[in-house]
A and B are shown apart, each in its own frame.
Chain A
Amino acid sequence: QQQVKQSPQSLIVQKGGISIINCAYENTAFDYFPWYQQFPGKGPALLIAIRPDVSEKKEGRFTISFNKSAKQFSLHIMDSQPGDSATYFCAASYSSGTYKYIFGTGTRLKVLA
């Protein structure tokens, strides 16, 4: 029940295309859903995050779509660029006093020039 399932495992997109990464969760107590971007040799960096009281959040080329009833959320990267090539992790947490994040297994994105 604590798992966050992420797909696909890897993704190849042409420059200018849309990258879509999906995550699903089971624990309805989760109330914060961030996405992290990680480059080789670096720690994860916060990209964008959403709470379940909204269905969509957009920041620049990055959009999170959230479906509370389906317990799913996704990251859309519009106009994908080679510089977006990285590993993306979704995560979930809940306000229990210990704000531990449950991470998905990651999606390795490659954007072709």
Chain B
Amino acid sequence: ETGVTQSPTHLIKTRGQQVTLRCSSQSGHNTVSWYQQALGQGPQFIFQYYREEENGRGNFPPRFSGLQFPNYSSELNVNALELDDSALYLCASSVRTAHNEKLFFGSGTQLSVL
């Protein structure tokens, strides 16, 4: 167990709708990252939050946004859902050290956009 929990586990939405995915990080982990994993592919970096501020972003449009809270929880929000947004969304928490970070992933939220 990584100590990272995500909710919900599965979600079905309609194109154009908005969705909020939630993550509870390991206690003491000050960094949270979100990844999108399409079927049969490796995870792709969406963005990272460090001490409640966005600290880097991948090649995703602004309709993907996030929040990190002081209690180590975080949210991923996606507006104007598109069919291609259907994927497994993974939250990963970590502790920033001098040399890279070990990412601890949750089990993910499977999002289906119809």
Count CB-based A-B contacts (< 8 Å): 69
User: In the bound complex, do residue B58 and residue A44 qualify as a contact, i.e. CB atoms below 8 Å apart?
Assistant: no
Q: A44-B105, A51-B99 are in contact. Are A100 and B33 (CB under 8 A)?
A: yes
CA distance A103 to B101 in the complex (A): 15
Instruction: Tell whether B108 is near chain A: CB-to-CB under 8 Å.
Output: yes
Instruction: Tell whether B26 is near chain A: CB-to-CB under 8 Å.
Output: no
CA distance A102 to B105 in the complex (A): 15
Instruction: Tell whether B107 is near chain A: CB-to-CB under 8 Å.
Output: yes
Question: Which range holds the interface residue count of chain B?
Answer: 20 to 34
- Which residues in A have their C-beta under 8 angstroms from that of B55? 97-98
Q: A31-B100, A98-B55 are in contact. Are A103 and B44 (CB under 8 A)?
A: yes
CA distance A81 to B33 in the complex (A): 32
From 79 to 113 in chain A, residues with beta carbon under 8 angstroms from any chain B beta carbon are 89, 91, 93-95, 97-106
CA distance A45 to B35 in the complex (A): 14
CA distance A41 to B99 in the complex (A): 30
Interface residues of chain B, those whose CB is within 8 Å of chain A, are 2, 4, 31, 33, 35, 40-45, 48, 55-56, 58, 90, 92, 94, 96, 99-108
